[in-house]
Amino acid sequence: MPKVIICLIIFFKLIQLYPQELINDLKTNPYTYDIKKNVEKNSILSIPFIDDFSYDFSNVNNDLWEISSVFVNRSYPINPPTIGVATFDGLNQFGRPYSINSTIDGNADTLLSKAIDLSAINTAYFLFYYQPQGIGDMPQIEDSIILEFLDNNLNWNIIWKKEGTSSFDFKKKVFLINSSDYLHNNFRFRFRNKATLSGNFDHWNLDYVKLDEFNTSLDTSSLNDVSFVYNISSYLRRYSQMPWSHFVNYENNELKDSINVFLRNNRSSINVGYQYDVYNKGSLVGHYPTLGNVRNETVLDYDSIGNFLFSSPSVSVSSSFFNSNEVDSVTFYIKHIISTSISDFKNNDTLKTFQRFYSTFSYDDGSAESAYGINVNGAKIAYQFKLNHPDTLRAVQMFFPEMLDSVSNLVFELTIWDDFQGKPGNILYSQDVNPFHTENGSFHTYELNSPLGLSGTFYVGWKQTTDDVLNLGLDKNIISNNYMFYNSGSGWNNSQFQGSWMIRPIVSTKEIFLSNYQNREFVKIYPNPCTSKFTLSGIDNGILNIYSLQGKLIKNITIDSESQFIFIDDLVPSVYILHLSCELGYFVKKLIVK
């Protein structure tokens, strides 16, 4: 059955089941870097070749890959062998549809390795793990993922192909390479997929690609690796982030007693140590475990027990770790580390997270996997928030992903309610605004015409003036449905679609610094040109990637203070592209090194 007909059947079934609430697949990916990703082709790699995509940026490692249009992420997989995957979809390397109006399947993403020298060995093995769909869109039977090898006559040969299907646990594929056709000094491999080319559809997740010399069957029966599985969630009991002034003096109510840390043992040593360290402005302010350097655990193989969770006892949280003399915004940088055997692949043994305290309340993690809306004129959605002391609501941030069928000309009523028995009560404030679609994943800030004093529980949302679906960002990795209410005319109910709406109220006694966080002028680098170092100011936390003009990642730096020196004395004189990913969005600047 053609995919268009299948999609229409599914759509009308959804309409029958949920005549008001809808979720839609994204049409673009705002978290893919908008820079050139093709890199120089003159380097030859040696084995072993290993990439488990565990790095915390959305590009592949350009030291290993020559061409890529995939999305590296931790959002779409379910129980990956190691944290992070490369996701194939219907979007190009810039996160845009290959063909906006296409209704048929075609060649989509490509992930091409650099040249690898296999000329000195008799037999190699190639392994990888794959999963269709995950929490994304299911690839149909006419969709596929394909593996190809380059032979010594420079011909691409299909080695493996898998047709689309619904999600299942990651499966391992292994291929032995003993033909002289492939054991040459210019061997390459590539994955590619066929998908609907008009949006973020037909997902395949790829993990742990490994190419090495084959000696015994033990080489392919075990990864010999222990890894984190997912990002560590917020240390806060209710929110992903909250204002510092509403946290101080309320730590015991706002902090979790413990956090969930999932590990997966892929047939490696069962003796694993774990610790996490908390930093504020570069200084160590907290260490777990409080007694000893590491917590030693027996982590059995995944095939025996599934993911391992620290449960007896759980990983505790101390309020003393989150202490600062700041009076406004504070960011804590947290490093989670596992100690594993010497032979274990080390790239996935450290996990970096942030606990942020800004002027916003937030349930979401900052990334959308779907878009949410209601198709009823006059319908209302309301998001519940709770203040620990009276404060002033000055603005509301919302993320409307670009859906290509923009509704930015429509008006909706930004609305604030008080609380009545755990649900929205009286309207306290209303203001006509329009959806503002962003291409780079940043939130749009709606300043209130007049600041609103609030106390206790309040609700932020909207009332629709048309039956058009507004497509608000929906984070599917954090479930906040207890606080998400909608009313399509028959009273308030909790949203039926699991996730977190991407709505963030800004409360502060101070004036808002910017009317729109998409303004880039407050992020400054100086001096520029520079020689051995430069200063980055305007952002107090985030990830800074420095790229060559060819798109090669040169440096990956964690930013954890508002103004800090970036040392670049190891860079050759040239022009570089700085890409800063932070709470306020994505910032791209040019740097000249003399």
Alpha carbon distances (Å) from 186 to 67, 135, 203, 303, 365: 16, 37, 30, 37, 42
348 near 336, Cβ under 8 Å? no
Tens-digit pLDDT string for the chain (594 aa): 345 444 544 444 444 444 589 999 998 888 875 444 444 556 899 999 999 999 988 889 999 999 999 999 999 999 999 999 999 999 999 888 999 888 788 999 999 999 999 999 999 999 999 999 999 999 999 999 999 999 999 999 999 999 999 999 999 999 999 999 999 999 999 999 999 999 999 999 999 999 999 999 999 998 999 999 999 999 999 999 999 999 999 999 999 999 999 999 999 999 999 999 999 988 999 999 999 999 999 999 999 999 999 999 999 999 999 999 887 789 999 999 999 988 889 999 999 999 999 889 999 999 999 999 999 999 999 999 999 999 999 999 999 998 876 777 889 999 999 999 999 999 999 999 999 887 677 888 898 988 999 999 999 999 999 999 999 999 999 999 999 999 999 999 999 999 999 999 999 755 443 333 333 456 788 899 999 899 888 777 777 878 775 456 688 788 876 668 888 988 998 888 787 766 555 566 778 998
Q: Do residues 208 and 223 touch, judged by C-beta distance below 8 A?
A: yes
Would you give the DSSP letter of residue 255?
B
Counts for the chain of helices (H) and strands (E), in that order: 4, 45
| Cα distances (Å, whole numbers) of residue 435 to 50, 411, 419 | 43, 7, 26
d(CA 176, CA 359): 55
Two structure tokens written together for 180 = 């002289």
Q: Rounded to whole angstroms, how far apart are CA atoms 22 and 372? A: 6
Distance between the two ends of the chain, CA-based, in angstroms? 60
Count of residues in the chain: 594
DSSP at 529:
S
* 3-class DSSP assignment, residue 420: strand
Who's near 359: CB < 8 A, 6+ residues apart? 243, 328, 329, 506, 507, 508
Q: What is the 3 state secondary structure string of 377-410?
A: CCCEEEEEEECCCCEEEEEEEECEECCCCCCCCC
Q: What is the pLDDT of residue 585?
A: 56
Q: Taking the CA atoms of 544, 199, 209 and 366 in sequence, report the sign of the dihedral they define.
A: positive
Q: Give residue 17's pLDDT.
A: 45
What residue has token string 């997989």?
77
CA gap 132, 87 in Å, rounded: 9
What does the alpha-carbon distance between residue 355 and residue 331 come to, in Å, rounded to a whole number? 6
424 forms beta bridges with 419
Q: Where are the alpha helices (DSSP H) in 203-343?
A: 218-221, 251-254, 302-305
C-alpha to C-alpha distances, 243 to 100, 458, 510, 513, nearest whole angstrom: 40, 15, 13, 15
From CA 20, how far away is CA 495, in angstroms rounded?
A: 10
Residue 426, classed as helix, strand or coil, is strand
**Closest among 87, 47, 84 to 71, alpha carbons compared:** 87
Could you say which DSSP state residue 42 is in?
-
Pairwise CA distance, residues 328 & 139, whole Å = 46
Q: What are phi and psi of 550, to 5 degrees?
A: -85, 0
Write the CA distances from 134 to 68, 87, 90, 240, 308, integer angstroms. Answer: 21, 10, 15, 23, 20
**All domains of the chain in start order, with CATH:** 31-221 (2.60.120.260), 237-357 (2.60.40), 370-507 (2.60.120), 524-593 (2.60.40.3080)
Q: Which residue has the tokens 């949203």?
A: 495
Do the beta carbons of residue 173 and residue 130 sit within 8 Å? yes
C-beta separation of 81 from 129 below 8 A: yes
DSSP letter for each residue of 257-281: SEE--EEEEESS-SEEEEEEEEEET
Encoded tokens for 49: 């070749």
Tracing tokens 């890894």 back to the chain, one arrives at 227
**Which residue type occupies 570?**
D
Cis peptide before 529 (omega within 30 of 0): yes
Name residues whose C-beta falls within 8 Å of residue 421's C-beta, 6 or more positions apart in sequence. Answer: none
Residue 122: what residue type? Answer: N
**Run of H or E residues at 4:** helix 3-17
Asked if 204 contacts 145 with a C-beta cutoff of 8 angstroms, the reply is: yes
Q: Which residues of 169-179 are buried (b: 16+ CB within 10 A; e: fewer)?
A: ebeeeebebee
pLDDT of the residue at 438: 72
Measure Cα distances from 161 to 128, 130, 144 in Å. Answer: 13, 12, 7
